[in-house]
Copies of this chain bind each other. A is one copy, B any other.
Amino acid sequence: MNYSISEENYLKAIYLLQSDGNLVTTNALALELETSASSVTDMLKKLKQKKLLHYQPYRGFKLSMDGRKVALDIVRRHRLWEYFLSEKLKFKWDEVHELAEELEHVNNKKLTDRLDEYLGHPKFDPHGDPIPDSFGKMVKTPLIKLSQLTENKTAEVYNVGNQSTEILHLLKHHKIQIGTRLEVKRIFPFDHSMEIKVKSLSPITISEQLAENIYVKIL
Protein backbone atom coordinates (compact mmCIF):
# COMPACT_ATOMS: atom_id res chain seq x y z
CA MET A 1 0.00 0.00 0.00
CA ASN A 2 2.98 2.30 0.64
CA TYR A 3 6.09 2.32 -1.50
CA SER A 4 9.62 3.68 -1.08
CA ILE A 5 10.86 6.65 -3.06
CA SER A 6 12.95 4.29 -5.19
CA GLU A 7 10.05 1.97 -5.88
CA GLU A 8 7.92 4.95 -6.86
CA ASN A 9 10.56 6.29 -9.23
CA TYR A 10 10.83 2.90 -10.90
CA LEU A 11 7.07 2.49 -11.24
CA LYS A 12 6.62 5.92 -12.78
CA ALA A 13 9.54 5.43 -15.18
CA ILE A 14 8.15 2.07 -16.33
CA TYR A 15 4.74 3.64 -16.86
CA LEU A 16 6.21 6.40 -19.02
CA LEU A 17 8.40 4.03 -21.03
CA GLN A 18 5.67 1.52 -21.81
CA SER A 19 3.15 4.24 -22.70
CA ASP A 20 1.94 2.47 -25.81
CA GLY A 21 1.62 -0.91 -24.11
CA ASN A 22 4.73 -2.71 -25.29
CA LEU A 23 7.31 -4.37 -23.07
CA VAL A 24 10.09 -2.36 -21.45
CA THR A 25 13.71 -3.56 -21.44
CA THR A 26 16.16 -3.56 -18.55
CA ASN A 27 18.64 -1.32 -20.33
CA ALA A 28 16.04 1.24 -21.34
CA LEU A 29 14.92 1.57 -17.74
CA ALA A 30 18.50 1.74 -16.46
CA LEU A 31 19.16 4.56 -18.92
CA GLU A 32 16.02 6.44 -17.92
CA LEU A 33 16.80 6.20 -14.20
CA GLU A 34 20.54 6.75 -14.64
CA THR A 35 21.39 3.58 -12.77
CA SER A 36 22.99 0.23 -13.60
CA ALA A 37 21.22 -2.65 -15.32
CA SER A 38 21.91 -4.88 -12.34
CA SER A 39 20.18 -2.45 -9.99
CA VAL A 40 17.19 -2.54 -12.30
CA THR A 41 17.09 -6.33 -12.22
CA ASP A 42 17.17 -6.27 -8.41
CA MET A 43 14.21 -3.90 -8.30
CA LEU A 44 12.28 -5.84 -10.95
CA LYS A 45 12.37 -8.91 -8.72
CA LYS A 46 11.01 -6.92 -5.83
CA LEU A 47 8.24 -5.28 -7.85
CA LYS A 48 7.31 -8.63 -9.36
CA GLN A 49 7.05 -10.15 -5.90
CA LYS A 50 4.74 -7.32 -4.89
CA LYS A 51 2.66 -8.13 -7.97
CA LEU A 52 3.14 -4.69 -9.48
CA LEU A 53 4.87 -6.08 -12.54
CA HIS A 54 4.59 -8.81 -15.18
CA TYR A 55 8.19 -9.92 -15.65
CA GLN A 56 9.87 -12.89 -17.33
CA PRO A 57 13.67 -12.83 -16.92
CA TYR A 58 15.42 -11.82 -20.15
CA ARG A 59 12.06 -11.22 -21.84
CA GLY A 60 11.11 -7.74 -20.65
CA PHE A 61 8.36 -6.47 -18.38
CA LYS A 62 5.35 -4.21 -17.99
CA LEU A 63 3.16 -2.98 -15.16
CA SER A 64 0.34 -5.12 -13.80
CA MET A 65 -3.08 -3.57 -13.25
CA ASP A 66 -2.09 -2.79 -9.66
CA GLY A 67 1.26 -1.36 -10.74
CA ARG A 68 -0.42 0.86 -13.30
CA LYS A 69 -2.77 2.19 -10.66
CA VAL A 70 0.10 3.10 -8.35
CA ALA A 71 2.06 4.66 -11.23
CA LEU A 72 -0.89 6.78 -12.31
CA ASP A 73 -1.19 8.15 -8.80
CA ILE A 74 2.48 9.17 -8.78
CA VAL A 75 2.07 10.77 -12.21
CA ARG A 76 -0.98 12.61 -10.87
CA ARG A 77 0.96 14.03 -7.93
CA HIS A 78 3.92 14.92 -10.15
CA ARG A 79 1.84 16.86 -12.64
CA LEU A 80 -0.30 18.59 -10.03
CA TRP A 81 2.82 19.88 -8.28
CA GLU A 82 4.23 21.01 -11.63
CA TYR A 83 1.04 22.93 -12.25
CA PHE A 84 1.19 24.45 -8.77
CA LEU A 85 4.80 25.51 -9.16
CA SER A 86 4.16 27.02 -12.55
CA GLU A 87 0.79 28.61 -11.92
CA LYS A 88 1.04 29.74 -8.29
CA LEU A 89 4.76 30.11 -7.63
CA LYS A 90 5.57 31.45 -11.11
CA PHE A 91 8.32 28.97 -11.90
CA LYS A 92 9.28 28.63 -15.54
CA TRP A 93 8.11 25.48 -17.28
CA ASP A 94 11.66 24.16 -17.53
CA GLU A 95 12.23 24.47 -13.76
CA VAL A 96 9.23 22.58 -12.42
CA HIS A 97 10.09 19.00 -13.34
CA GLU A 98 13.07 18.66 -11.03
CA LEU A 99 11.12 19.95 -8.02
CA ALA A 100 8.05 17.84 -8.79
CA GLU A 101 10.37 14.84 -8.92
CA GLU A 102 10.69 15.22 -5.14
CA LEU A 103 7.27 16.56 -4.20
CA GLU A 104 5.56 13.64 -5.96
CA HIS A 105 6.76 11.30 -3.20
CA VAL A 106 4.66 12.91 -0.47
CA ASN A 107 1.89 10.37 -0.67
CA ASN A 108 -1.30 11.44 1.05
CA LYS A 109 -4.64 11.17 -0.68
CA LYS A 110 -6.22 14.07 1.16
CA LEU A 111 -3.31 16.35 0.30
CA THR A 112 -3.41 15.38 -3.36
CA ASP A 113 -7.16 15.87 -3.62
CA ARG A 114 -7.07 19.20 -1.79
CA LEU A 115 -4.26 20.43 -4.00
CA ASP A 116 -6.18 19.33 -7.09
CA GLU A 117 -9.23 21.21 -5.86
CA TYR A 118 -7.20 24.31 -4.92
CA LEU A 119 -5.75 24.41 -8.42
CA GLY A 120 -9.20 24.07 -9.99
CA HIS A 121 -8.83 20.49 -11.26
CA PRO A 122 -6.38 21.31 -14.06
CA LYS A 123 -6.43 18.94 -17.04
CA PHE A 124 -2.85 19.51 -18.27
CA ASP A 125 0.51 20.16 -16.65
CA PRO A 126 2.82 22.94 -17.89
CA HIS A 127 4.37 20.60 -20.46
CA GLY A 128 0.97 19.76 -21.92
CA ASP A 129 0.79 16.30 -20.35
CA PRO A 130 -2.66 15.28 -19.12
CA ILE A 131 -3.18 15.10 -15.33
CA PRO A 132 -4.95 11.91 -14.12
CA ASP A 133 -7.90 12.50 -11.81
CA SER A 134 -8.31 10.64 -8.52
CA PHE A 135 -9.60 7.58 -10.41
CA GLY A 136 -6.64 7.59 -12.79
CA LYS A 137 -8.72 8.90 -15.69
CA MET A 138 -7.34 11.60 -17.94
CA VAL A 139 -8.24 13.20 -21.23
CA LYS A 140 -6.36 12.11 -24.28
CA THR A 141 -5.83 14.65 -27.01
CA PRO A 142 -5.25 13.55 -30.59
CA LEU A 143 -1.73 14.87 -30.90
CA ILE A 144 0.73 14.27 -33.68
CA LYS A 145 4.44 14.87 -33.93
CA LEU A 146 5.56 18.10 -35.55
CA SER A 147 7.75 15.93 -37.77
CA GLN A 148 4.61 14.38 -39.28
CA LEU A 149 3.27 17.69 -40.60
CA THR A 150 3.50 18.62 -44.27
CA GLU A 151 4.48 22.00 -45.71
CA ASN A 152 2.24 25.00 -45.12
CA LYS A 153 0.35 23.43 -42.22
CA THR A 154 -0.33 25.53 -39.12
CA ALA A 155 -0.39 23.92 -35.67
CA GLU A 156 -0.31 24.61 -31.95
CA VAL A 157 2.28 23.09 -29.61
CA TYR A 158 0.67 20.89 -26.97
CA ASN A 159 3.35 18.71 -25.55
CA VAL A 160 7.02 17.81 -25.46
CA GLY A 161 7.98 14.16 -25.67
CA ASN A 162 11.05 14.46 -23.51
CA GLN A 163 11.60 16.30 -20.27
CA SER A 164 15.36 16.71 -20.38
CA THR A 165 16.69 20.15 -19.56
CA GLU A 166 18.58 19.96 -22.84
CA ILE A 167 15.44 19.94 -24.97
CA LEU A 168 13.73 22.52 -22.81
CA HIS A 169 16.65 24.87 -23.17
CA LEU A 170 16.67 24.42 -26.93
CA LEU A 171 12.94 25.11 -27.10
CA LYS A 172 13.40 28.20 -24.99
CA HIS A 173 16.09 29.38 -27.38
CA HIS A 174 13.71 28.92 -30.31
CA LYS A 175 10.96 30.68 -28.32
CA ILE A 176 8.75 27.61 -28.57
CA GLN A 177 6.51 26.67 -25.66
CA ILE A 178 3.16 25.03 -24.93
CA GLY A 179 0.51 27.01 -26.78
CA THR A 180 2.88 28.42 -29.37
CA ARG A 181 1.38 28.58 -32.86
CA LEU A 182 3.70 27.78 -35.71
CA GLU A 183 3.63 27.21 -39.43
CA VAL A 184 5.70 24.69 -41.39
CA LYS A 185 7.35 26.54 -44.27
CA ARG A 186 9.64 23.95 -45.85
CA ILE A 187 10.89 20.44 -45.24
CA PHE A 188 14.36 19.59 -46.53
CA PRO A 189 14.49 15.97 -47.71
CA PHE A 190 18.22 15.64 -47.14
CA ASP A 191 18.04 15.54 -43.31
CA HIS A 192 14.32 16.13 -42.82
CA SER A 193 15.07 19.42 -41.11
CA MET A 194 12.16 21.83 -41.08
CA GLU A 195 11.87 25.53 -41.63
CA ILE A 196 9.13 26.85 -39.38
CA LYS A 197 7.74 30.24 -38.57
CA VAL A 198 6.89 30.97 -34.93
CA LYS A 199 4.42 33.81 -34.56
CA SER A 200 5.72 36.86 -36.38
CA LEU A 201 9.38 36.07 -35.86
CA SER A 202 11.66 35.32 -38.77
CA PRO A 203 11.66 31.64 -39.82
CA ILE A 204 13.97 29.19 -38.09
CA THR A 205 15.24 25.74 -39.00
CA ILE A 206 14.94 22.84 -36.59
CA SER A 207 16.32 19.31 -36.72
CA GLU A 208 14.22 16.22 -37.35
CA GLN A 209 15.21 15.04 -33.89
CA LEU A 210 13.63 18.09 -32.32
CA ALA A 211 10.52 17.90 -34.52
CA GLU A 212 10.09 14.29 -33.40
CA ASN A 213 9.77 15.48 -29.82
CA ILE A 214 7.25 18.27 -30.26
CA TYR A 215 3.61 17.23 -30.21
CA VAL A 216 1.08 19.52 -31.87
CA LYS A 217 -2.58 19.79 -32.73
CA ILE A 218 -3.32 20.84 -36.31
CA LEU A 219 -5.29 24.05 -36.60
Residues of chain A at the chain B interface (Cβ within 8 Å): 85, 88-91, 95, 99, 102-103, 105-106, 108, 110-111, 114-115, 118
Contacts and interface: CB of A to CB of B under 8 A. Distances in A.
A50 to B, nearest CB: 22
B103 A91 contact: no
A118 B90 CA distance: 9
B90 A99 contact: no
Contacts of A115: 89
18 contacts: A85-B111, A88-B118, A89-B111, A89-B114, A89-B115, A89-B118, A90-B114, A91-B110, A91-B114, A95-B110, A99-B106, A99-B108, A99-B111, A102-B105, A102-B106, A102-B108, A103-B103, A103-B106
Contacts of A111: 85, 89, 99
A211 to B, nearest CB: 32
A102 B106 CA distance: 6
Nearest to A107: B102
A122 to B, nearest CB: 15
A85, A89, A95: most-surrounded residue (chain B CB, <10 A): A89
Nearest to A96: B111
A86 to B, nearest CB: 11
A114 to B, nearest CB: 4
